[in-house]
A = this chain, B = another copy of it.
């Protein structure tokens, strides 16, 4: 397979340039300084890159999708800053979260203004023939990502979460904004219904796989690479696919007791992480989750069949492998 690293880096550079040009520290600085801090924190920028590639995959210039892609990236960062407050997370990409560096009100407000900035980047009706569909897709992404976070919070209080519940939640919380990126990219490139649908399904599968792998990396990555605490999900009591499968597979009293402790206290303290890892290893949970996300990554690739066979469709294929081979 061709290596698209150079193209990715070119897209990334254009995206970073666009974001830094777009977000200036103007008055009130107590609002725009944290905004600039948030968007200058780096990251994979997978959402805007995806929008650009999808625009190319339907046969148009990827660069015309930069603004809309950045809109989705800003929306994604809005969800991060608010989620970090709700989850009381102190670190994000190795730096203090906004509500820690500033305060909770600042975190709330900067998230809010980001939504407006994101909308302003979407093409107006006189700028793009598919403007209306792009704006609708974006708004639906916003609503569904909120619903996903609501489910995530609700799951924290419930002990009866099923694997189906979990997939429904990550579909909304993680996959949806990737879908939004893919759809918006395809719409910007003026793709037809079948193409848009294929891109949507591709991004859906990619998103589910991405989240399953993220859950795994939360326990297996190196701290320095992850930029946050190892086992954060365990500490926060997240009922991930791994936890739910461990509940199914556990049979010895020690494992059952450990999982009960996790459920009863809505999470475990950091010193339990090695125990959890040992159990997951022994019950082959790491193997099971890996197989699961691999199957979603494969499904994502198989969605690409109906698209034009051009370099960007190939790049969508390459993105899957790039993500599955990541280590943070």
Contacts and interface: CB of A to CB of B under 8 A. Distances in A.
A113 interface: yes
Interface residues of A, number: 38
B113 A86 contact: no
A111 B109 contact: no
A37 interface: no
Nearest to A79: B112
A108 B106 CA distance: 12
A139 interface: yes
B109 A82 contact: yes
A96 to B, nearest CB: 19
Contact of A109 (B105, B132, B153): B153
Nearest to A85: B108
A119 interface: yes
Interface string A243-267: 0000000000000000000000000
The 3 closest A-B pairs by CB, nearest first: A86-B105, A31-B150, A116-B143
25 contacts: A28-B147, A28-B150, A28-B154, A30-B154, A31-B150, A78-B112, A85-B108, A86-B104, A86-B105, A86-B108, A109-B146, A111-B112, A112-B115, A112-B142, A113-B143, A113-B146, A115-B115, A116-B140, A119-B119, A120-B136, A124-B135, A125-B131, A125-B132, A126-B132, A135-B135
Given A28-B150, A124-B136, 8 more contacts: A28-B154, A31-B150, A82-B108, A85-B105, A115-B142, A116-B142, A120-B143, A126-B132
